[in-house]
Amino acid sequence: QGDKSTYYWPVLRLQNGQQENDANADGGGKDQNVGEIQTPSQVTLNFVGNPRSKVTAMPRFLRIITGDAKAFVNGDANANASWSCTGFEDRQLKDKYPICPEGSQVVRTFKFQSCWDGQNTDSANHRTHVAFAQANGACPNGFRAIPQLVQRIVYDVPPPVFDGANPSVFAVDSFPEQLHKPITDHGDFINVFDQRLMNKVVNCINTGRKCR
């Protein structure tokens, strides 16, 4: 109840010719986002620590965007979401959708930036006020570690129906020119934890516990 944050990711649709109630709406059919919207079977939102330092509390209304909704056109510098299948999550894909074997579910994973500049809750490009940790786990100079949001979204989608060379499966919503490419997948988070709960999260992480 102490978390009123916003967690956003584009919907996943089956490319099955079915029309949803947004078939004639902006953002839906008018932007070439068609097909049957899939509801996740499971969503896990974890906040994890930093391997090199303790974390500090996120400021209220901190905004973090991970991934790039225009990565197909912009290039993959900011692409970050990954795709996999349950039972095979040691294999992560960024530029292809997985074709999961029977009995395995599709998994989308987002690991958000875990370093904050200590001053700003947002920036002009929605990116420069936060950063990813470096390869050794440390935050860049001038940044401090914050709890890292890791989103794992699982879907039961039917197995693909192969029509020649092209499987009829699923795709994320995108801007029309991005062609529903998996590399355009992205997530947004706006922190609206109350301070008491945020402090509890920080204390849990910094003492090495697992809290629910």
Dihedral over Cα of 122, 124, 127, 128: its sign: negative
Please write down the HEC assignment for all residues of the chain: CCECCEEECCCEEECCCCCCCCCCCCCCHHHCCCCEEECCCEEEEEEECCCCCCCCCCCCCCEEEEECCCHHHHCCCCCCCEEEECCCCCCCECCCCCCCCCCCCEEEEEECCCEECCCCCCCCCCCCCEECCCCCCCCCCCCEECCEEEEEEEECCCCCEEECCEEECEEECCCHHHCCCHHHCEEEEECCECHHHHHHHHHHHHCCCCCC
Is residue 212 one of the residues assigned to a domain? no
Is residue 15 one of the residues assigned to a domain? yes
Is residue 1 one of the residues assigned to a domain? no
Per-residue pLDDT tens over the stretch 104-136 = 999 999 999 999 999 999 999 999 999 999 999
Neighbour order of strands in the sheet with 36-38 = 36-38, 12-14, 170-172
Is residue 185 one of the residues assigned to a domain? yes
Token pair listed for 165? 């060379």
Instruction: Look at residue 168 in the predicted model and tell me its pLDDT.
Output: 56
- Residue 212 pLDDT grade (very low, low, confident, very high; cuts 50, 70, 90): confident
* Cα–Cα–Cα angle for 132, 61, 54, rounded to 5 degrees: 45
Is residue 113 one of the residues assigned to a domain? yes
Instruction: Look at residue 100 in the predicted model and tell me its pLDDT.
Output: 92
Per-residue pLDDT tens over the stretch 155-198 = 999 877 666 555 558 999 999 999 999 999 999 999 999 999 99
Q: Are 18 and 42 in contact (CB under 8 A)?
A: no
Q: How many domains does the chain have?
A: 1
Per-residue pLDDT tens over the stretch 38-64 = 999 999 999 999 999 999 999 999 999
Q: Are 190 and 4 in contact (CB under 8 A)?
A: no
pTM of the model: 0.92
Is residue 84 one of the residues assigned to a domain? yes
Domain that holds residue 104: 6-206
